[in-house]
Amino acid sequence: MSDPARSRPNTLAGIALLVAAVCCFAILDTTTKVVSLGVPVLMALWFRYAFQAIATTAAMLPSRGWSLLRTAHPKFQCLRGVLLVVSSSLAFFSLQHMPVGEFTAIVMITPLVMTLLASLTLGERVSVLRWSLVFGGFLGTLIIIRPGGESFSWAMLLPLGLVISNSWFQILTSRLARTEDPVTMHFYTGWIGTLVASLALPFVWTTLESWSLWAGLALMGFTATVGHFMMILAYARAPVSTLTPFLYAQIGFAMLGGWFAFSHVPDQLSLLGMVMIAVCGATGAWLAVRESHLLIQAAKS
């Protein structure tokens, strides 16, 4: 039987690691938007994955050896890597046209979309309250996008494609994480992303003369690599249901990044949409915790 007093430090460490991870992701998104002003998106995408692939290999291969490559599901590892490349590509293109805070808020409906996909494809039962939260999250997204409004453009639909691809990525990750080594998953993600992005690299390569652009590309690779690794460490220390509400801290970090780099402050309607997404998402996470506790109690009785 686990000791609550001993598990609490691990949980707190998991929360701290997750908050640090989403801070890294907010810095990544802000830097991506800055760098994309002077670097082709697909070239920046290649640097982001190449940095992760090389850094993970250099850090883990000496201690793990060839066991780092051992996987029971190579096809799913490839599919997972491709899904993340698609998500990253949509994210990079979205950030060219959208403020960082609003973009991040839309991406944060991913857990709600996963609830919808679980119902439609996996046959999982979804309560009326959960459906209401999904609807509330989508309504918050519509308030941010405002189809038909003066500020609306087709590019604002790109984050919705990102949400769909990222939802499938998360579902596949949750399945693989049951049997696969997280570090091995991180390794394959980096190299598959690098190989896929390399296909476009000869067509988009541009000589960069500014040291600030090179520094930006390095920062993108560093924050992406460290952020994903911190997230792996966080999920090793605390349950997903405990950590999920803290994912929404990324919206706050993203707003700070947008204000610092571009002096952008979301308008009142966008702030309302962000709050709706954060509240619906966090409530959905609380429901997951509550339902898991009820199942455990029912199993014991």
pTM: 0.78
Whole-number Å distance between alpha carbons of 117 and 301: 31
Residue with tokens 């190579």: 74
Positive or negative torsion for Cα 274, 276, 170, 241:
positive
CA torsion angle 107 113 118 123 (round to 10): -170
Whole-number Å distance between alpha carbons of 136 and 128: 12
Closest by CA to 177, choosing from 220, 222, 252, 232, is 232
Q: What is the pLDDT along the chain (301 residues), one digit of tens a residue?
A: 445 444 556 778 888 898 999 999 999 999 999 998 888 888 999 999 999 899 889 988 898 888 988 998 899 999 999 998 999 899 888 888 888 888 888 888 877 777 777 666 656 676 778 778 878 888 888 888 777 666 666 777 788 888 889 888 877 877 787 788 888 888 999 999 999 999 989 999 988 888 999 999 999 999 988 998 888 788 777 776 677 778 888 888 998 888 888 888 888 888 898 888 888 877 877 776 666 666 566 666 6
- Classify burial at 82, counting beta carbons within 10 Å of its beta carbon; exposed 0-12, middle 13-18, buried 19 or more: middle
Task: Dump the DSSP string for 254-276.
Answer: HHHHHHHHH-----HHHHHHHHH
The string over 12-28, giving b where at least 16 C-beta atoms fall within 10 Å of a residue's C-beta and e elsewhere, is eebbebbbbbbbbbbbb
